[in-house]
Structure 1
Amino acid sequence: MNREIRPQYYTPCGVGILRETSREAFKNKPEKFNTLQESLNSIQSRIKQPVSNYTDKSAILKIRKSQIKLNQFI
């Protein structure tokens, strides 16, 4: 379950909405993906906005691209 805030949605997300959304999410079995791209494709299938709107602004993904992996020191 997810909620995209678009101009048609006139009420901000309150605590109750976030609590219920989280509760529903934890009732489901977690999805597992082999690659980052597979996970982004799954997200894109559920939202109307381009997933790039989020990935372009993601600090975590920027760090992930430049992060040195342990096996690079061997």
Structure 2
Amino acid sequence: MASFTFTPESAERVKIKVLRKYRDLAKENLQFVPGQEEQLVEQLMELLKRDRAYVEFTIKKGLADPEGNRL
């Protein structure tokens, strides 16, 4: 179970931040949909070859300051 939740606005902002940080990901690879956070975590774990803790930390960091540019 993912330890964060998205709103439509925060989902779009985090998507932009993740795509900036990981330029090799294509937009169609990322489906940020509120209510399906667990699927996003699993998808990013596979695409980034990282563990759950890293992926959730990265997303939470993006959610902490939605107006900032840093991830």
Structure number with higher helix proportion: 2
Is TM (by shorter chain) over 0.5?
Answer: no
For the aligned pair, the TM-score class normalised by the smaller chain equals 0.3 to 0.5
Highest RCO, 1 vs 2 (Cα 8 Å, sep ≥ 6): 2
TM-score (normalizing by structure 1): 0.32
TM-score (normalizing by structure 2): 0.32
